Chains A and B, each alone.
Chain A
Amino acid sequence: MADTSNNFKKKIRNFTFKALKATVKGILFYAIYFVLWMFLAPISDMVPGFQQMIETFVMVYILLMIVGELVSGTIFQCFFNVAKALFVIGYLIFSLNDGIFGLTFQNVSLMVDLRLFLVIAMLLSLLGLAKSVLQAINYMNEKAEYTRI
């Protein structure tokens, strides 16, 4: 009976710690976004929908990050990390329109070639994806070892 009570308390403590960690990470990420946005704000006046595009990205990313953190220590954390990496890749491709970003302002057409940025971001996202897959393999490996013991 005492063991069950201790186990429950331990689980609550673990979950509280995870929730706290997720909250801190979320706030930290949002603070970084807030600081960076001050630099990018002049662009939002020129590019319609730019702020909405960035905000949607940040919202979904923070959500995946918090959920991933809450389920850390389980296989679901790896799933959410994979989802996060795939979301970054997909969102970059669709929002940056294959790296060529164009807009027309009055009679002036502006074209920004972000292909190099896109390629580097994709490579980093793929690295994140590979890390998540390795984490999943490692998790299953460790679990199998514990089960055998």
Chain B
Amino acid sequence: MRIPIRMIGIATTFFWIFLIAFFVSAVYSVKDVHFDFGEPQMDVTSDNKVVFSLPVSIANTGFYNIGSFNISTEISDKEGFTITRGSTFVPVIKKNDVVTITHNMTIDLNDLLQQDKNYLFNDTELKIYEAVGMKIADVIPVQASTNFSMPWSAPLYNFTLGEPIYAPYNLTHFRVTIPISFENHPFFDLVGDMRIRMYNSTGARVGRGKTSLEAYGNSPYNREYRVLCFDDWNDSDWAV
């Protein structure tokens, strides 16, 4: 019986040495994994989507491969409603290898502004949850996560319609001039058409106008718009 007991002892010792050596070397090799986060880029596509791109470079000079490398980002509003999420996955980063990836996040401005008009007119804060996960030596899962806030800049901040000025246009119509002002807080320009419709107290449309809009990013915008109205329009009783 002594020999089997001794064999169990030898086998146990061998496995302990192997386990501890592997664990210590795996933990030690984390020291030799370097992350380099590049300058984040923001672009607006032609279909009104804001694309955030974050270049990430991972240099693995440790003893083991890194498996299931994953970067995920979730952007939500103050109430916790998820606006968008993005994820970038690299199956394996081999040892002595450098991998460069671009982590992309897309926010559809059309969807966002239709969901909540508040984003158009008021500056607010967006919550960002960022998580980086990987498997050290393809075996030990590690995840680091953080939360932070990012300011949201409203494109139509402090949107104001001024006092309308009306003047006869012809025998049947008036011309109404409406001053419009707002501040375009985000970095991107607002380019498009602005349509104005005027209604009387019974809800009937009495006039309309359309003009092109070009508001530069981070700048105030002040213009006057002209709207043609029918002659039965009453200046004390209108809505835009």
Contact = CB atoms under 8 A, between A and B. Distances in A.
Contacts of A131: 5, 8-9, 12
A109 B28 contact: no
Given A42-B31, A134-B1, A138-B5, A110 B144 contact: yes
Contacts of B162: none
For the complex, would chain A's binding face be called helix, strand, loop or mixed by DSSP majority? helix
Nearest to A88: B16
Interface residues of B, number: 28
B8 A134 contact: yes
Interface stretch (A7-15, A16-24, A65-73, A114-122): A114-122
Interface in A106-128: 107-114, 116-117, 120-121, 124, 127-128
Interface residues of A, number: 27
Contacts of A110: 142-144
Contact of B20 (A36, A42, A109, A128): A36
Given A107-B146, A116-B139, A127 B1 contact: no
B141 interface: yes
Given A120-B15, A135-B5, 14 more contacts: A40-B27, A40-B28, A42-B31, A107-B147, A110-B143, A111-B145, A112-B140, A117-B19, A117-B23, A121-B19, A124-B16, A127-B8, A130-B8, A134-B8
9 contacts: A39-B27, A42-B31, A109-B145, A110-B144, A111-B143, A117-B23, A120-B15, A124-B15, A124-B19
